[in-house]
Amino acid sequence: MHEITAKSVYSGIAIGKIKFYDKKPHVITRTSVEDTDKEISRYETATQAAIDELNALYETAVQKVGEANAEVFHVQAMMLEDEDYSDSVKNIICMQNVNAEYAVATTGDNFAEMFAGMDDEYFKARSADVKDISERLIRVLAGKSEKSALGEEPVILLAEDLAPSETVQMDKSKLLAFVTRCGSANSHTAILARTMGIPALVQADISQEYEGFLAVVDGYEGKLIIDPEQSVYEAYAQKKQEEEQKKALLSELKGKETITKSGKRIQLYANIGNPNDLASVLENDAGGIGLFRSEFLYLEHDTFPTEQQQFEAYKKVVQTMGGKKVIIRTLDIGADKQVDYFGLEKEENPALGLRAIRICLTRPEIFRTQLRALYRASAFGKLAIMYPMITSMAELRQIKEISKAVRSELEAEGVKLGEVEEGIMIETPAAAIMSDELADEVDFFSIGTNDLSQYTMAIDRQNAKLDPFFDAHHPALLRLIQMVCDSAHKAGIWVGICGELGADTSLTEQFVQMGIDELSVSPSQILPLRKVIRQI
């Protein structure tokens, strides 16, 4: 028996035989060419073929993991069209009279190294994408097709690393778990694993010699156990059986009320990134949608989405939810979510810069278009609007002036509108401290604990080096949440949590005692959280 410790990116137990995915790198030979124009033509043809592959992969990924997670393949397709990348390849071909494969490999290495050396975590992560697109181009140039890493029998897959494209194409019924030597908890591949519900470990000291051995992946403890002793095997087999029984028991909670033993009812809603997540919301029996991130519309377009495009998306969501409340957050672009066509200037500290409601108030034409679409969609279901990144009464009054003008404009046009609750996200200490005054101006508060934690502790949540300093249960954060609850209830409005902390079951009872009325979490967390609440 041999035990390897690794970093878990998705919990769960898997038991099965190991298959080692030996992704042999393409051997690139530098070849002198006379006809550089012909070589550039080969490169351009291969680029288009690779883009077509990525677009097809995007469609496959949408069905498996939703639009938000499939977006990585759109990003990679855009990287293939990047002028700097393309110019580098063509320049190497022309200046050195070499074959396209060598030019692509050299450019890929240079760009990957450049991204890896950047301070910004987002751009660091692009290093893996550059390697992925370069390998894809070289494979296409070589006339080779993609091969599946899996065989006929379900296996635990070991690999040096897995590209997002490789992960999403795998047949989930044949993949028990995967373990990689490289990778991080925030890589695209790790995110896809979590979305697909596959136990996964990264940063494991693995070897090809483990091929064919029986093994256990413990995603809870972050362990890979190779050739387990009989007693260890039996213990994990029992644990896996209990895990399956828990899942079955959770499904029995569908249709049950989310209510404590003392009779306090908690609204349990879901967070979603786009309309394709609705199936998961309904499958997990959410009471409504507590956070619909409308920025997906902007991220997936090459230019500003029209009023009609936005209206159709919002209408689809409220209609599908069949009268259940849908809370749509207005545009939250900026910080780690950048869109080229917005033309935002580079900022030294984008988390504290022009983002979210600040963009809307400085570029009201964008804001008004979104509000018109939202109010129009309100006629088709129970829609509420939530404004992010509020810090002052002045901002809130400006928002109300614009929203009132938009409603009046639509009414004058004879457009049918529904009743719309309007609330704000409490995600800055300023908003929490001012919550007693803000509460008089809105219908509800939703606490965004991700940013509220970041700003309260002065910790950039994109910087992995600061993880040791981060405390999700920091007393200052909990005091601010209590302050917001007290302010909301004093003013007669409801208050919820829509950040990651909402799914932290070690705090659920404390949140209920604080007076939280609503928790909005990822769809997969709905039933486990309902179970906890019903036991309080």
Which positions are catalytic?
188, 498
> Is 227 within 8 Å of 2 (Cβ atoms)?
yes
Task: Say how far apart CA 263 and CA 74 lie, in whole Å.
Answer: 48
What's 105's DSSP letter?
Answer: H
Sign of CA dihedral 458, 459, 461, 463: positive
* Residue 414 vs residues 311, 408, 410, 411, 417: alpha-carbon distances, Å: 16, 10, 6, 5, 9
C-alpha of 230 from chain center: 39
Q: Are 486 and 510 in contact (CB under 8 A)?
A: no
What one-character DSSP code corresponds to residue 9?
E
Q: Would strands 7-10 and 200-202 be described as parallel, antiparallel, or unpaired? A: antiparallel
Q: Are strands 214-218 and 2-5 parallel, antiparallel or unpaired?
A: unpaired
Listing DSSP states for 340-409 in one string gives GGG-PPP-S-GGGSS-THHHHHHSHHHHHHHHHHHHHHGGGS-EEEEE-S---HHHHHHHHHHHHHHHHH
Amino acid at 487: S
Q: Are 258 and 518 in contact (CB under 8 A)?
A: no
Q: 414: which DSSP letter?
A: T
**Cα gap 258→250, rounded to integer Å:** 13
Q: Provide the total of helices (H) and of strands (E) in the chain, helices listed first.
A: 19, 16
